[in-house]
Amino acid sequence: MERWIMHVDMDAFFASVEQRDHEAYQKQPVIVGGLSNRGVVSTASYEARSFGIHSAMPMVEARRRCPQGIFVAGNHGLYKAVSKQIFHIFQEFSPLVEPLSLDEAFLDITGMEKITLNQRDYAKLLKKRIKDELGLIASVGIAPNKFLAKLASDLDKPDGLVIIERGLEQSILRDMPIRRLWGVGKKTGEKLQELGFRTIGQIAQASLDELAKYLGKTLSYQLIELANGRDERKVEPERDIQSIGNEITFEQDLLQAAQVEKQFLALAEKVGWRLRLSGVKARTLTIKIRFASFQTITRSQSLIEPTNFDEVIYQMAVNLYRQVKVKESIRLLGITGSNLSLHEEESLFQEDQKKKALYHMMDDLKARFGENIITKANLIQKPHNEKDLPKG
């Protein structure tokens, strides 16, 4: 399968959060950073950037360039909390998310276009989710590898969406300045300038042996590979994923138990699928219910054996739901699997081996024909007091 990597980077992250939360800051030059005389700028809003202010600039200089600016010390706790919300959304778009900082990540979206939309619409959907739910703007780059994806997200900032198609790698890179190459900082940049390199295209043509004399073999090899648009590095998710969950907010509140259970099935199928894609099983399952009054409850249960089977997740969710005293209509439902185990333990139950083969086949069909091709959710029309649940 052709590899596709997405790089998402929030625009002027800290400053945008401040502008979002303070009406008086909107459309104003906002500078977040250390306010003391020795402080530096950590983020400048785009309005502030038009005064030539940028990250890492001494605060004194920023004040000189824009005395009328709004200078804020920033609220790191808040940015961290918002970052968590952003990554929550990322994880719904790919089981493989590699964080680079609070506001930046790689998502491996290989094969995703087959189960959902084309890459551009997929990226638009992600940007829309972030905007609608968090009131923030992200720039997205999509390319066959990490280096190009990161480059692409920066090409049309702010609010960018750039796709570098396979085969166009070299023509896009050719005339770009060498500092755009990953790993070229100030020192290496100066060295390359001295050696007469100005563009990435020139490095792409360089002789490895020649360059290695000045920069060493490892770095030289890396730079020439990148300059040719080649980058085999994998997206490496953080090893300690805590949980995998999905939730749905309904356009119209749900009144009937049968509707609720149908939605739990749809959620169970999503969560099960994501657990299987990530190669993990959940030992604890939690349901979340938000009522029309916004009162929110969660109920959890742990399993004897961890699972990533849709119907086990579904049955447990329904059991938990049936124990809840429901007095009003429901506006949101969620299922989360946590207490995840990474490695494949042999199942205690033989039955599970058969199920595993079945799920393998189902996931393969989903990958080829779309996520909704096999769904049990549409089939359930039974009232909730009937005991028999759909069979896998």
Q: Which residues line the annotated binding site?
A: 9, 103
Closest of 267, 381, 242, 376 to residue 321, by C-alpha = 267
Which of residues 5, 10, 96, 112 is near Mg ion by CB under 5 A?
10
* Dist CA 318 CA 298 (whole Å): 13
Closer Cβ to Mg ion, 13 or 273, answer by number? 13
* Residues near 260 by beta carbon (within 8 Å), at least 6 away in sequence: 254, 321, 330, 333, 384
- Position 262, amino acid: K
Closest of 221, 145, 210 to residue 183, by C-alpha = 221
Residues for the chain: how many in total? 392
Closer Cβ to Mg ion, 10 or 32, answer by number? 10
Closer Cβ to Mg ion, 140 or 317, answer by number? 140
CB of 158 to Mg ion, least distance (A): 10
Q: Using the rule CB under 5 A, is 9 a contact of Mg ion? A: yes
Q: Of the ranges 11-19, 58-66, 244-252, 306-314, which one interacts with Mg ion (CB under 5 A)?
A: 11-19
104 has catalytic annotation: yes
First to last CA, the chain: 29
**Interactions with Mg ion, residue window 85-104 (CB under 5 A):** 103
Residue tagged active-site, from 18, 92, 98, 104:
104
What the block records as the tokens of 129 is: 């989710």
Closest of 103, 84, 96, 107 to residue 239, by C-alpha = 96
* Dist CA 129 CA 137 (whole Å): 10
CB of 107 to Mg ion, least distance (A): 15
CB of 82 to Mg ion, least distance (A): 12
Closer Cβ to Mg ion, 9 or 231, answer by number? 9
* Dist CA 299 CA 333 (whole Å): 12
Q: Of the ranges 6-14, 107-115, 255-263, 331-339, which one interacts with Mg ion (CB under 5 A)?
A: 6-14
Q: Using the rule CB under 5 A, is 138 a contact of Mg ion? A: no
**Interactions with Mg ion, residue window 226-245 (CB under 5 A):** none
Active site residues: 104
